[in-house]
Structure 1
């Protein structure tokens, strides 16, 4: 299965474009943002857990990256509220569930094979935020190639200050806009290399999950 598989083209999907597709597990649905492969695929998705839904324990040979958008997401007896960022490295396993229900942003099979460290960052904790280059950010992950941050933007502030080699963002709250379009929370955009200096925060500011430098030139089916 291929969904938005041409990485040389920009893609934008807003909440009004979401198409919820049942997963193999009852009570769990997903919006496929991009995908290369079947059930074991390089994939980016929004996943919705109904209350009291649970997945059987399973492994992630290619790793899994998660940002909790709402509700409480659980892995066994570990519980993660909205604003939690997780990286489960290649070869890890877990038993995901949600007692109250949850919506999460998920990326599969997009880590380097030698990544080993589990990451859990609660972005709601003020001490996890810092000023960097005059910008308010919460660092989530960096390996010298890929960088993942949460960025809190002031009204009118540009998302990018220079050209990017590749970028992907998910609007957590507030509004982003270009001269001819505005984006609401839940909007996801993937961008190839280029200049995107006209993406700015709206009048109320914005909080954005931002990943840069990570997109392959020619992705292969997982």
Structure 2
């Protein structure tokens, strides 16, 4: 889905072998996808700073969602903005990306008569705040946001911003957060309805060094996210 300047999103489900790039028309009611199934729930995923929609763990989570349930899965790729090495630039871009993603959400809801109770937004690092803004600007009341993958702390929790300027439990019916780098790159405080701190939430996590804590480690986030998708939450040290 092309949702604005330097932002692309890609739709996947069991029916399409390759991700479908969708175009968002000016008329929301004209929004169409060749493969979208309005009977299935929607997962919208995005990456964080210095990353992209093609990062390994994100694609693995997408594949796992489709394999376990036939979800409509959309990956929002804002890498042209996220790759800026000046962190504040990328951080301030989350609001813009969130607004564009909200427009996409509303277009889907309008075209297919779907409301937010069928939507689950998932973000890592700065992407967690993108999803918070997406819910804030959308006309839909989003069912769940998993800002589970270390919502970025600098310029959001340090200093502490207004709840409308960061991911907060008011952004969805249920917000769950996994803290694996608490107090350093990720949120230190509890801001969700459910907050999990594997290995006490401290950096460094087993098998994760340096910038992996910022941009995401395939096996760390895949393990936590897939655990969160199971009927019983299980976290391993």
- TM tier, shorter chain? 0.3 to 0.5
* TM superposition score normalised by structure 2: 0.31
Structure showing greater relative contact order (alpha-carbon pairs closer than 8 Å, 6 or more residues apart): 1
* TM superposition score normalised by structure 1: 0.32
Q: Answer 1 or 2: which has greater helix percent.
A: 2
Q: Answer 1 or 2: which has greater strand percent.
A: 1
